[in-house]
Amino acid sequence: MNVRRSAAVLSAVAVIGAATPAAADPSPSPSQAFPSALYGGTDPKYDGVWRQSLALLAQDTVGVKPAEKSVQWLARQQCADGGFASYRPDPAAACDAKTMLDTNATSAAVQALTALGGHDDVTGKAVGWLKSVQNKDGGWGYSPGGASDTNSTSVVIGALAAVGEKPDQVVKDGKSPYDALLTLALPCGGDDDGAFAFQPDKKGELAPNADATAAGVLGSLGQGMVVEPGKKSDTACEKATTPQQAAANGAGYLTAALAKDDGHLMSALAGAEPQPDFGNTADAVVALAAQGDIAQAEKSVRWLEKNSADWAAQSGPAAYAQLIFAAHATGTNPRDFGGADLVKQLNATGPAPQAAEKTKAADEKEDSGSDFFGVWWYVGVCLVAGIGIGFLFTGRKKKQQP
């Protein structure tokens, strides 16, 4: 997701830069403190809402109750029309025409705040805004009015599903988000069977993109960032006339790509040496688990357990959240992830959470009859100890008698 977000941001900035004169917008100086409620210690200009949303959603997923001020900070980032920008240094200042609203940040915030509960007014307005900026092809771009892309469309689908909306019924000019995703899926019959493209290139052609494919699988399944293992289906590539078939095709592509490089994806940034892509590998694990392709998902999560520690420490809260989502999707313990406690590491990047909620097993144990016997066992021990002390005092008195 980190690479995905960076690509989307750069794409949006390029479009805006081409349309408007460059403006002086310096990054905060080293002496400028970031909000104490914010997770992560790097400049939040392009990812403040995104990483905050992922951090809070990950905490909720593992039963941790986030700090209230962190939740309120996220909710207050919303503009009056319902949309979220990537980051607003002063939430008290009204949004205006210069505020760059962001479908990805808005959708991530919806997923987090819906999971936490108690923010229906915020999420309702956000979903209303997302619907208002839907493209005619049924999809969404990173910024309102931008060409639809697989990643943005998929994260919006996750937000719609989170609040109980049916994505296939959210239409613009008769097109739903699923229609948009189907147009971005590569056909079968080549080396890139079933992959999704990020967007068509200038010639209208589609190029396979593993990151977009992971997003496209989740989007086609109507899933958000947090998933449960799905039911295994045939991954043989067939013509995608339904979102379910597009998801199956995409999962087949991901499985082949992961198997090719010992269980992980490789980065493909222009001008850079290929290297392991931890974030996209984690996203692929979640996508495969949602599709029901558990075998490859588990192999890849084992690779992440062995190799992702340095990347996560450098990348911060969003990275820890991605690993937690991958662990959750595969039934892996995030508190013993290759020997690391992802939950503790995530919590350390921001305000201390309120508390860890009791697990269902703990609640059942407290309500079970075994605790009744445990109490009486404790009482019995105390009685025996009391009798022993009584004998001890009696013996002492006898010795003291002349």
φ/ψ (deg, to 5) at 74: -65, -45
104 touches 5 (CB < 8 A) = yes
Say which DSSP state 229 is in.
-
Residues 288 and 143: their CA atoms lie apart, in Å, by 28
The alpha carbon of residue 39 and the mean position of all alpha carbons in its chain are separated, in whole angstroms, by 14
Beta strands per DSSP E along 60-134: 64-65
Residues 329 and 41: their CA atoms lie apart, in Å, by 28
Residues 374 and 372: their CA atoms lie apart, in Å, by 5
N-to-C CA span, the chain: 86
20 touches 58 (CB < 8 A) = no
Q: What is the pLDDT of residue 173?
A: 97
Can you tell me which residue has the tokens 């001008």?
Answer: 271
Q: What is the pLDDT of residue 356?
A: 59
Residues 307 and 314: their CA atoms lie apart, in Å, by 13
- Rounded alpha-carbon distances, angstroms, from residue 125 to 30, 71, 78, 94, 163: 35, 17, 9, 16, 11
16 touches 292 (CB < 8 A) = no
Residues 82 and 127: their CA atoms lie apart, in Å, by 7
Say which DSSP state 169 is in.
G
Residue 85 pairs in a beta bridge with: 101
Q: What is the pLDDT of residue 374?
A: 43
Q: What is the pLDDT of residue 272?
A: 78
Angle at the Cα of 206 from the Cα atoms of 201 and 208, rounded to 5 degrees: 115
Query: Which of 281, 224, 279 lies closest to 257 in space, CA to CA?
Result: 281
Query: Mean pLDDT of successive 10-residue segments in the chain (402 residues)?
Result: 47 39 38 84 97 98 98 98 97 95 98 98 98 98 97 98 98 98 94 94 95 98 95 80 96 95 86 90 98 95 98 98 98 98 98 69 40 41 45 41 42
Say which DSSP state 236 is in.
-
Q: What is the pLDDT of residue 190?
A: 81
Q: What is the pLDDT of residue 236?
A: 82
Residues 100 and 115: their CA atoms lie apart, in Å, by 25
Say which DSSP state 353 is in.
P
Strand 265-266 vs strand 276-277: parallel, antiparallel, or unpaired? Answer: antiparallel
Q: What is the pLDDT of residue 261?
A: 87
Q: CB-based burial of residue 141 (10 Å sphere; 0-12 exposed, 13-18 middle, 19+ buried)?
A: buried
Can you tell me which residue has the tokens 């087949």?
Answer: 252
Q: What is the pLDDT of residue 234?
A: 64
The alpha carbon of residue 384 and the mean position of all alpha carbons in its chain are separated, in whole angstroms, by 54
